[in-house]
Amino acid sequence: MKITNVKLETVCGITSALPENKLPEIAFAGKSNVGKSSLINSLINRKSLARTSSQPGKTQTINFYNINDALYFVDLPGYGYAKTSVSVKEQWGKMVERYLMKSKMLKAVFLLIDIRHEPSQNDKNMYDWIIYHGFIPVIIVTKTDKLKRSQVAKHIAMIRKGIEAKEGTKIFPFSSLTKQGKDEILAYIEEVCGLAESSV
Ligand SMILES: Nc1nc2c(ncn2[C@@H]2O[C@H](COP(=O)(O)OP(=O)(O)OP(=O)(O)O)[C@@H](O)[C@H]2O)c(=O)[nH]1
Ligand SMILES: [Mg+2]
């Protein structure tokens, strides 16, 4: 898939109505600072259309990026940011859950987990939530450039075990620095959205 045309089309806050999109949607979930916005920027070949930050908690809204008028990338707010107040955390959780329940066009949810760390309870809850809502969970382990190559497989096994991944759960290693995994992730997105190579 060659991405030529991208625009941030809808930004939803806690009280906003969610858009009723007619195109397939792919959502990106995960802990704050795990690299969701960086992954989206890598996939769309932009340095900073999706806002990234070394400060966690940057993305506090649900952002819908229209990709080639063929699908949407949905950047979800990150969870687990310690400094966020309990009431705001609850509202974010509800917002994400409402989205998972309401979207009719959601085709896949990528759950991003930092390759260096054991999955947290929040990661596990998110993984279970994705399944509960009837979606196939796909894990992307991020920041692979932070490990020696020889360590990668061991850490992927640790994450698979820690999250109690169901048999067949796909795990893509990814780095926004080296772009490792980018082509595989794009190919998967095309497949689940039913986009033939020629149509996008
Ligand atoms: N080394 C390395 N750093 C990365 C990678 N991906 C993201 N980062 C860094 O991690 C930090 C957080 O990245 P973001 O993409 O903003 O993370 P996010 O998941 O969107 O965070 P929230 O919006 O807070 O939920 C930034 O400083 C990025 O530069 C990666 O693959 N490798
Ligand atoms: Mg972000």
142 lines ligand 1 (CB under 6 A): yes
pTM of the model: 0.92
Rg over CA atoms, the chain? 16
Low-confidence ranges of the chain (pLDDT < 70): 50, 52-59, 81-84, 197-200
| pLDDT for the residue 130 | 92
What is the atom index within ligand 1 of the atom nearest the CA of 57?
24
Tens-digit pLDDT profile for residues 37-77: 899 999 998 877 767 655 655 567 899 999 999 999 999 98
Buried b / exposed e over 12-32, threshold 16 CB at 10 Å, is beeeeebbebeebbbbbbbbb
Whole-Å CA distances, 75 to 29, 170, 195, 198: 7, 20, 20, 26
| pLDDT for the residue 90 | 76
| pLDDT for the residue 16 | 84
Superfamily per CATH, domain 6-193: P-loop containing nucleotide triphosphate hydrolases (3.40.50.300)
21 lines ligand 1 (CB under 6 A): no
Q: Where are the domains of the chain?
A: 6-193
